Amino acid sequence: MKSRSTFSFLMKYVFRKWFLLLTAVLCALVTVAGTLYLPILTGHGIDMVIKAGFVNFAVLKNIILQALIVIAATIVAQLFLSLSNNRLTSSVVYEIRKDVMAKIHKLPISYIDSNKSGDLVSRMIADVETLSDGLLMGFTQVFTGVLTILGTLVFMFIMNWKITLVVVVVTPLSFFVAGFISKKTFNLFTIQTKERSSQVSFINEMVSNQKIVRAFAKEDDNLEKFKEMNERLKNASLKATFFSSLTNPSTRFVNSLVYAAVAIFGSLSIIATGGLTVGELTIFLSYANQYTKPFNEISGVLTEFQNALACADRIKKLLDEKEIVEKEDAKTSKKEDFKVIDFKNISFSYVPEQRLIENFSLEVFKGKRIAIVGPTGCGKTTLINLLMRFYDVREGEILMDNENIKDYTRKAYRENFGMVLQETWLRKGTVRDNVTLGQNFSNEEVEEACRKCHAHSFIMRMPKGYDTEITEDGGNLSNGQKQLLCIARVMLMNPPILILDEATSSIDTRTELKVQDAFAKLMKGKTSFIVAHRLSTIKNADVILVMKDGNIIEQGSHDELIARGGFYNELYQSQWAGDESRKSV
């Protein structure tokens, strides 16, 4: 039932390319027809030469000419069948990959956070590739095989229904054997695919974090984990391959019985009643061989096909995940201007039984700088996630000028924001591409933004300046340089609302002072949310929110909070403990 649902899912993609499918079907029909007609010509040719002292050369010449024409037509049909099937498979794989990529962008952040990135990559790359191989091998041989089986039965029934009945009686045994093994192998290949996905996720995690692995001397532990995972994958693969390999010899044994039965009953028919000629028996034996051959071919590709179905099932599950749903009447253009953002009695938790933020309220007026501080796990980043609608509040609402932010699509709403996070993200491409993110800005605008954040000087020292290629995730740049490029993006976009989450954490103190000055100019007239651990960077904030356990416990300017001598003062003093000279700066 599960594999049937997966097959239906796969066929929806196949039917989208109906022209290629129709071409493949027509070519398959011609191929099967030619393959089935050739034994008839061969049998008639045998009858023309088997009589003692007589060979009908005129008829034989005509038969040979017909056979050559049939062979040529069959070869051409097989060629076009292969071409159509290749195009069909490539098109289906293209559509699936495109849909998976689009789906990832539509899934909630909560799904991305709760699933390993390596597993998602495995589904999109390895699983789709396996599906491609299974589909390519399976479609041609399974479809032409079924047509051959049906065609040979029809021709044999017309020639001699009694012998055909023997074939039909023995056939279900072959179906039973193939069906039993097929169900077993599908489950085993599903296990194998899951184990392979886990291994890919582990490898991806270890390779991308190799510096940390070595810094903490975890090489041996990771090798042990990998050996265990590799052992599980090996065992799953061996079981799946073993059971699938039983299909071909089992069906070959049954098919040999069919061939033997036809030979015995046909020979007895010639001896007893003369109901068949030698040529007609030859045709029957050829049909018996062609009838059984597709079973062997189908069982031969069963391993790949079952593996492909198992991979298709994982892809189907991903595509069936619930997407982010916008309101039907949600506005698709951003709010051009606003006066206040209001967090109104919001409650939120990542896990229902572990409450994080409860009955939280905050009013932020346009142009204000709001700093958010507090101990680890108090809800600072969660507040930003809710503000950006990476997650939606469970209770309460967030308003912009008394309009719920859910009244806008996420895309339209987020056009108001610019973010610089502690974790940088750069893609493979030029420096200019990473700053503009593909948007249309002039060279002068890009350079001006980079000058403001003091990135221009190090960019110009690179081999090709702004046209220098950087590797994936900026591997050939320092952390500070990567962060400066991310800051340059925001400088260039110039959004009305800024979110700075430890935006200068990887920058040296001297450059940080310059960037802070640039930020101060950028934030004039803009609403800014600043998440900070270094409290010295937020002294000039209009309002400092001190969070603890998901609630605001203190609120005010830096001087007011220090004078109050509360929790903020404790945090501030603890950062400068033992360094009175810096404390007074």
Full 3-state SS string of 203-218: HHHHHHCHHHHHHCCC
Q: Where are the alpha helices (DSSP H) in 107-209?
A: 109-114, 117-122, 128-159, 161-208
Six-digit token pair at 361?
A: 């309220």
Six-digit token pair at 178?
A: 């193939």
- Residue 288 has φ and ψ, to the nearest 5°, of -60, -40
Q: What angle do CA 397, 398, 399 make, to 5 degrees?
A: 115
- Where b means 16+ CB within 10 Å and e means fewer, 175-195 reads eebbeebbebbbbbbbbbbbb
pLDDT tens, 376-430? 777 788 888 888 888 888 888 999 888 888 888 888 888 888 888 777 788 888 8
Q: For the chain, list residues with pLDDT below 50.
A: 578-585
199 within 8 A of 233, measured Cβ to Cβ: yes
pLDDT at 178: 66
- Residue 472 has φ and ψ, to the nearest 5°, of -55, 130
- The predicted model scores a pTM of 0.68
Contacts of 268 (CB under 8 A, 6+ apart): none
Tokens 């969660």 correspond to 382
Consecutive H or E run containing 359: strand 357-365
CA distance 431 to 392: 34
Consecutive H or E run containing 502: none
CA distance 579 to 585: 11
Six-digit token pair at 539?
A: 């002294």
Domains and CATH numbers, the chain: 99-319 (1.20.1560.10), 333-416+534-585 (3.40.50.300)
558 within 8 A of 538, measured Cβ to Cβ: yes
